[in-house]
Structure 1
Amino acid sequence: MRVAVAQPASNDDVAANLALIDQLAAQAAGEGAQVVLFPEYATYEKRRLDETFARAAQPLGGPICADLASIARRHGITLVAGVVEASPVPERPFNTLAAFSPSGALIAAYRKIHLFDAQGQRESDFISPAPTADPVTFDVGDVTFGLMTCYDLRFPELARALADAGAQVLAIGASWVPGELKTDQWLTLLAARAIDNAVFVAGSCQAPPISVGHSQILDPQGGVLSRLSAEPGVAVADLDLGRIAGIRRDFPVAQQRRMGVLIRSDHTQPESAV
């Protein structure tokens, strides 16, 4: 399975963003990628969220997703991209990753669960959270991908739920807000989620100045298979899915979990068994 992460520098010009998605998708397909992952807010992005995101929102059956479906069809790829999806609350749309098959069919839509109310920003003022916390996966051949968005990366339980649901690859679309140590945290958390769950991780991030860039594809031990730095572009890697079983045999953490062992409510540790 050959996978690509695309790193655009999206802005608030939807037509220009779609043209760039088409260009990067063509580059990835030309390098043999079967699945191409674009970041959060790939079709509409600004330095800070505001009321214009609601005005840019469309249903998944609208013209923007039709254009994305056409790009997937034209290049014969599975394409995943972040869109602003109209919600039942018009002033607060969904932040959604939409996946399209090579035929242009919508095969998955993941609405962001954990909104970025941090670092002086409040995504929840302008975006609705997902109505459920159910993991969202889709299959390409015999490979299962699990979808996550940006701030979700800081919540390891979602990655574990996706792995439990069968995900072999975590596809993470992000617009990781810059700041002190933020690039280091992005890279560390990508590797941690790969290692935690013995899965491949594909992390696509918006390029600077809005975001930090440094999109990467990692193996189930956290090793970097392909990476970008700050500039827009595409990184491609071949995923040897057979490695997952061997790593999980060596480190059977999923079977060794002891979720019933909890810290007591008075915040003291239980007495050790004798």
Structure 2
Amino acid sequence: MKIALAQVLSTSDPQRNLVMVRDYAKQAKEAGASLVVFPEAMQIAFGNDLARNAQALDGPWATLIRQQAREIGITIIAGMFTPGEAGRVRNTLLITGAEADTHYDKIHLYDAFGYAESDSVTPGDVPVQFSHQGQTLGVATCYDLRFPQLFIRHAISGAIVNIVCASWGAGDGKVEQWTTLAKARALDSTTFVVAVGQADPESLGQQVPSSVPLGVGHSVAVDPLGRIIAQAGAEPELLVVDLDVALVEKARRQLPVVANTVDL
């Protein structure tokens, strides 16, 4: 299974971001990928008026993403914002392609490191898996990466790959935490973890407020035994990884943590 990790830096302009999705999706398809993963907040970057830009799943932005997936012949996962409750939004992943058209609303909101996502975002409450090339994949968003139970839930539901879309906040040790958590979640669930973040704005010479989580780069793919397959740097980059899905069954024979999981 070839998956492309599109580490990009989304902007304040949803139309410009649509062009970015199209261009990277085309490159991913040309590289042989059947699925391309974009970061959280791909529709519009954090630090902008999310409520004013939120759109329904049948609105123009999502509709154009579906059209791109259909025309290019690839499955696309991209972060957007949909209307929530009491003037808030939902932090949503759109998953669309020939085999799936679904979405995931972020469950664990980023109320940490001085940021309060719950002030503007309504949480989701339903884990989501989807089918791709006859396999089950689970999805997660950013802060979800710190919660192993979601990844284990996906694995129990049959997932062999966990996709993470993020706009990981910068700070002391945050790149190391990102990489360590991706490896840990792979080991917790004996799944591949494909974690795609926004590029680091500073890699392009952009200065941003430290309080806004705009990305650190270092998107990473990890195998079911916690070994890094590929990792990006800080700048925008397209990585394509070829996952040997048979490794999941082999890992689960060696390390049957999913089979041994019990409710406590």
Q: Which amino acid aligns with 2:16?
A: A
Equivalences for residues 248-263 of structure 1 within 5 A:
248-260=252-264
Equivalences for residues 125-274 of structure 1 within 5 A:
125-130=119-124, 132=125, 134-209=126-201, 210-260=214-264
CA contact (8 A) 1:135 1:165 kept: no
Instruction: Compute the displacement of 1:226 (Å).
Output: 2.1
Instruction: Compute the displacement of 1:99 (Å).
Output: 0.4
Q: Does 1:37 align with 2:37?
A: yes
Instruction: Compute the displacement of 1:108 (Å).
Output: 1.7
1:169 and 1:125 map into 2 onto residues whose CA distance is: 31
Task: Give TM-score scaled by structure 1 length.
Answer: 0.89
CA contact (8 A) 2:194 2:222 kept: yes
Give the alignment partner of residue 100 of structure 1, picking from 89, 96, 100: 96
Please name the residue that 1:75 is paired with: 72
1:141 and 1:121 map into 2 onto residues whose CA distance is: 38
Over alpha carbons, which structure has the higher Rg? 1
Q: Which runs of 5+ in 1 are unaligned?
A: 261-274
1:99 and 1:79 map into 2 onto residues whose CA distance is: 6
CA contact (8 A) 1:159 1:197 kept: yes
1:99 partner SS? strand
Please name the residue that 2:111 is paired with: 117
CA contact (8 A) 2:100 2:131 kept: no
1:168 and 1:250 map into 2 onto residues whose CA distance is: 15
1:60 and 1:148 map into 2 onto residues whose CA distance is: 18
Instruction: Compute the displacement of 1:197 (Å).
Output: 1.0
Please name the residue that 1:54 is paired with: 51
Aligned residues: 252
Task: Give TM-score scaled by structure 2 length.
Answer: 0.92
1:14 and 1:6 map into 2 onto residues whose CA distance is: 17
2:112 partner SS? coil
2:7 and 2:248 map into 1 onto residues whose CA distance is: 26
1:250 and 1:201 map into 2 onto residues whose CA distance is: 18
1:228 and 1:66 map into 2 onto residues whose CA distance is: 30
Please name the residue that 1:5 is paired with: 5
Instruction: Compute the displacement of 1:112 (Å).
Output: 0.3
Please name the residue that 1:269 is paired with: none
CA contact (8 A) 2:190 2:225 kept: yes
CA contact (8 A) 1:54 1:90 kept: no
Q: Which runs of 5+ in 2 are unaligned?
A: 202-213
Instruction: Compute the displacement of 1:162 (Å).
Output: 0.9
1:106 and 1:115 map into 2 onto residues whose CA distance is: 25
For residues 2-41 of structure 1, what are the alpha-carbon distances to aligned partners after superposition, in whole Å with 9 as ceiling and x for unaligned? 1111111012111111111111111111100001111100
Q: Which amino acid aligns with 1:194?
A: A
